[in-house]
Structure 1
């Protein structure tokens, strides 16, 4: 079985979304872009799942999407992030439990 190359997936997603890894780090809410740079430069070949979840959230995708390398959504990452915030607000407003 071939080992998954996280760096390659991230770089491919950055290319698809037309963003830099630094912009992705900001979208993912990472306090520093160093973590993402270490992954992309393969200094960290086994990032924590929480880090990958942050990347997925920043791009508006699921972990399954990340690992299956599906095509990007029709909306830019910033719009997807706004939609997530709005969904959180609506769940709060109508007292709907989170996913």
Structure 2
């Protein structure tokens, strides 16, 4: 998540604010405590980056 934010010249904090995410949710994802995020959470993260879900999942990280 940090890498993807950095690729868009943003910090995680900027992405979660723009996407309307909860800091605790992102902290749990990044720490590995949450292993299966909801699609709505991923969508909000994508909204914060101004990318589509398709772009997110077509990232080289998933290939």
Q: TM-score range by the shorter chain?
A: 0.7 to 0.9
Normalised by the length of structure 2, the TM-score is 0.79
| Structure showing the higher helix proportion among its residues | 2
Q: Deviations over 1:1-57 (max 9, x none)?
A: xxxxxxxxx222122123222221111112x31101111111111100000011111
SS at match of 1:12: helix
| Equivalent position to 2:39, from 38, 41, 49 | 49
Q: Identify the match of residue 30 of structure 2 among 36, 40, 57.
A: 40
1:18 aligned to which of 9, 23, 27: 9
Greater Rg by CA:
1
Report the number of matched residues. Answer: 60
Task: Say if 2:16 and 2:23, in contact at 8 Å, map to a contact too.
Answer: yes
Cα RMSD of the aligned pairs, angstroms, is 1.5
| Gaps in structure 2 of 5+ consecutive residues | none
TM-score by length of 1: 0.54
Larger relative contact order (C-alpha < 8 A, sep ≥ 6)?
Answer: 2
Segments of 4+ moved more than 3 angstroms = none
CA distance in 1, matches of 2:18, 2:24: 14
Inter-partner Cα distance in structure 2 for 1:22 and 1:41:
15
Structure 1: gaps (5+ residues)? 1-9, 71-99
